[in-house]
Structure 1
């Protein structure tokens, strides 16, 4: 950490022991302690406590490009769009070099529980390539990014209040994407089952209960989204709705291109639309964490890029749960002028 580092400004508190023990039975990726952070009580695994100040003091560069989202809000799709626009539509590199290498996930190591890491190492002992993948995962990406030459592309799910204090005034470009919470929850449920670093054990109704009560990583959902929405007029921030991207990708490409000071011909736009089409995108191994499946961090029977559509929640919510979710959404929208697209 640099010599002018700022102290982390928020209190980090362990979860109530009884609640923590209950959650450890549901979320097997963490083996020690969940914590809550700051006045909004953002929810993280125990390793965040040792990383919070380092992330908060991460040196931002004026030419950085960030994608900030609550999980499962179209993050990967947006990352690939942003990276291609800034790299002259280099589809060849995008298809062959994993997105995580081109666009590092700032806090990825926070979710690498030491006990789980040791399990992965034992499962892959003797395979140098596999062990290299595991070590990369456990390496703080802020260290990798600090040593990156040229323009940096950074993904994070951390809300603005816990990110570097100068991020919003540094000149860095930030794309924030929001998505309907019911679709987020369904997609997040599948992610929690796919990644053994998260490893949720339970049905969707149980997961929704945790989601609604701010007991999933990076939650509370509403605090996160409202922090993003409150920055929508910041000239360094482009706030997008996933539903709008889905409905009119061409228009969204134009918005992002203008924000990033790039321009495309009509043919280039069409080529990009075809590349990002969900039917093609989900078959791209460079964005699907296939290497993590190889070493057993992700379950091989799950897919990272799923349906990529809006309204997919309708097949997962019972009528009773849907009504409960709608009430919760309406209550939280009363205090903001944020509105989700249909």
Structure 2
């Protein structure tokens, strides 16, 4: 289906593909594909797709956008602190999930799933408040939120408002797809919402076949890369954050029009260091863990390592990945920074 409000057709995936995915991921979800690039999403996204595409923007909005597991959370905390005059106490008091509107997250939280979670957590009304908040469609949350608004999305640029960069700042972060795939695999195991039960090699197969949420990976990145020279777009690589955090923080500060002293820069980089980040309860979605929605075996922030994919790829997968990357980079000058 398509309409004047939303220019792309939305269609269910093939039944054979749906059956395969239902054996590996949460069986409750149905999947759709959107537009000519076949962006892959949980079907509930279709309920808010047109509203997100047409949402009114404000000049002081700040978007953090990425394909999942590309350094989004790291970038969110960095952007929020710089834009909020380094208010660390407020950052500690309010979970990152509540400081940002995650535009499409409600697609995971159907009424049936919410009812199940609430039945399992009787007596935890205070903890369940965050879930009710996350279940509100992102466009509705955005409309009722005061300015300045901080918005997070994994949607590609083509599914966001077409006038987005006319007045709104966007920080987009990209990462080597092999590291993304490993991290995304662990996230899908971590979240009981997705409940992935296969091994990494099977997940990699879904990843390169564009059968994971928000895929295809390369189309997603290329859309943002083509806009990287727009004055309201800052395109970052995770590998830049990892290799030289101070310089990257300074770039973000300049983009947001914020002045930061060398002492403030040192403090912020310490706050953002992976070791401190892993132990920050405001970041790690502990509130969802208390509701049994995250596995106790995994943590939301993992190693934060560039090049860590080598620990998970066998020789065949390594060759396949390199060929896949080379083929997808043929028509673009985008290159991932090398990692030693």
Is TM-score (shorter-chain normalized) higher than 0.5?
Answer: yes
* Deviations, residues 281-306 of structure 1 (Å, cap 9, x unaligned): 11001010100001111112211111
* Deviations, residues 214-262 of structure 1 (Å, cap 9, x unaligned): 0000000011010010111111100011101111011101110000000
Matched, 1:276 2:275: no
Q: Shift of residue 129 of structure 1?
A: 1.6
Distance in 2 separating the partners of 1:130 and 1:294: 8
Identify which of 25, 47, 52 aligns with 1:50.
47
Q: How many residue pairs get matched? A: 336
Distance in 1 separating the partners of 2:29 and 2:138: 22
Distance in 2 separating the partners of 1:34 and 1:125: 30
Matched, 1:251 2:247: yes
Q: Shift of residue 145 of structure 1?
A: 2.0
Distance in 2 separating the partners of 1:128 and 1:282: 27
Q: Shift of residue 55 of structure 1?
A: 1.1
Q: Per the alignment, in what secondary structure is the counterpart of residue 225 of structure 1?
A: helix
1:318 paired residue number: 314
The runs of 5 or more residues in structure 1 that have no matched partner are none
Contact 1:68 1:174 in 2 (8 A): yes
Distance in 2 separating the partners of 1:128 and 1:75: 29
Contact 1:106 1:142 in 2 (8 A): yes
Q: Per the alignment, in what secondary structure is the counterpart of residue 303 of structure 2?
A: coil
Contact 2:181 2:207 in 1 (8 A): yes
Q: Shift of residue 142 of structure 1?
A: 2.4
1:223 paired residue number: 219
2:116 paired residue number: 119
Distance in 2 separating the partners of 1:197 and 1:326: 31
Contact 2:178 2:321 in 1 (8 A): yes
Contact 1:14 1:34 in 2 (8 A): yes
The runs of 5 or more residues in structure 2 that have no matched partner are none
Q: Shift of residue 21 of structure 1?
A: 1.3
Contact 1:13 1:36 in 2 (8 A): yes
Contact 1:98 1:286 in 2 (8 A): yes
Q: 1:167-182 to 2 correspondence within 5 Å?
A: 167-169=164-166, 171-182=167-178
1:11 paired residue number: 9
* Deviations, residues 103-143 of structure 1 (Å, cap 9, x unaligned): 12111101213432222121112332233232222112322
* Deviations, residues 46-92 of structure 1 (Å, cap 9, x unaligned): 10111111111111111101001000000000000001101111111
Matched, 1:108 2:105: yes
Q: Give 4+ residue runs of structure 1 displaced > 6 Å after superposition.
A: none
1:83 paired residue number: 80
Contact 1:125 1:131 in 2 (8 A): no
